[in-house]
Amino acid sequence: MLFAVSAPNFCISYPRSPNFTHFLRRHSVPTRLCIRASLLENNNGAKMEYTPWLIVGLGNPGNKYHGTRHNVGFEMIDSISRAEGIVMNTIQSKALIGIGSIGEVPILLAKPQAYMNYSGEAVGPLAAHYQVPLRHILLVYDDMSLPNGVLRLQPKGGHGHHNGVRSVMGHLDGCRGFPRLCIGIGNPPGTMDLKAFLLQKFSSVERQQIDAGLEQGVEAVRSLMLHGFNQRINTFNLGQKYKYHKV
């Protein structure tokens, strides 16, 4: 694993995995690196995927929009970065990113600094540069079809009339097959204007619900990275769906 030592020699030091020999022949330019074959160290044959995950939170940049409903994606990313100790200090492709890992899985946290409708411009090139496959892009965003504070992890879905998700889908080659974490914010009350509702800050009760929800979400994200989509995620979704129907 002597990556950092000398770039031109790296090809030689990787005789092991079949994927790598394939890539060796493909490009003679040594400066480029492929991290596709990260299925290393599988001595026990355990099926853990070490391909990096890109976790993107959608929101509007700037302090003016801090704490509004449409920016819950940003808040989720902030709580993940606090929990995992990842500092977000790099600006690349119109987004603020931070690199770290959960367990053995490398993750990239990203907060696009383009306005919501153009988030895709930030996400697409980022995913392409870091060679993150579509199934490892986790999009975190607000969802009005769920009650306030209820989270849901889905392996794929549609845009649900969310302009940010729509732009991301467009820049990801029109694909909808990436997992998402939807954070519920509830319907606008009565005849309130939709945009005004989204750019409003949370009320105190809702704030507490959202904070609790974010913590649970961090746990869920960890479980997703480590174990993928399995029964645990279904249990999590069920628990979230009925979490307010308790006495």
Of residues 75 through 134, those in contact with another protein by CB under 8 A are 82-97, 99-106, 108, 113, 117-118, 120-121, 123-131, 134
**126-145: contacts with another protein (CB under 8 A):** 126-131, 134
Which x/- pattern, by CB under 8 A, does the window 215-244 give for another protein? -------x----x---xx--x--xx-xxxx
- Separation between Cα atoms, residue 45 and residue 62, nearest integer Å: 46
Q: Please, what is the minimum distance in Å from the beta carbon of residue 242 to another protein?
A: 4
Residue 98 Cβ, how far from another protein at the closest point, in Å?
Answer: 9
Size of the site for another protein (CB under 8 A): 92
Task: Say whether residue 204 binds another protein (CB under 8 A).
Answer: no
Spell out the residues 6+ positions from residue 143 whose beta carbon is closer than 8 angstroms to its own: 152, 160, 162, 182, 183, 184, 185
Q: One symbol per residue from 156 to 195: x for binding another protein (CB under 8 A), - otherwise; what is it?
A: -------x--xx-xxxxxxx--------------------
Position of tokens 């998700």?
A: 165
The verdict on 66 binding another protein (CB under 8 A) reads yes
Helix H segments across the chain? 18-26, 72-84, 119-129, 163-171, 194-198, 204-227, 231-241
The residue within the footprint of another protein, chosen from 25, 189, 190, 204 (CB under 8 A), is 25
CA distance readout (Å), 36 to 6, 49, 52, 92, 132: 19, 11, 9, 21, 9
Structure token digits, residue 63: 């302090």
| Span from 28-36, 149-157, 183-191, 193-201 in contact with another protein (CB under 8 A) | 28-36
The reply to whether 70 belongs to the active site is: yes
8: which residues sit within 8 A by CB, 6+ positions away? Answer: 30
Phi, psi of 96 (to 5 degrees): -95, 120
| CA R_g for the chain | 19
User: Considering the rule CB under 8 A, would residue 27 count as an interface residue with another protein?
Assistant: yes
Of 207 and 222, CB closest to another protein: 222
Say whether residue 48 binds another protein (CB under 8 A). Answer: yes
Catalytic site residue from 22, 27, 70, 159: 70
Closest distance of CB 83 from another protein, Å: 6
Minimal distance in Å, beta carbon 192 to another protein?
22
Picking from 109, 110, 124, 133, the residue whose alpha carbon sits closest to that of residue 37 is 133
Residue in 6, 9, 16, 35 binding another protein, rule: CB under 8 A: 35
Exposure string over 88-108, b if 16+ CB within 10 A, otherwise e? beeeebbbbbbbbbbeebbbb
Query: Which residues have a catalytic role annotated?
Result: 70
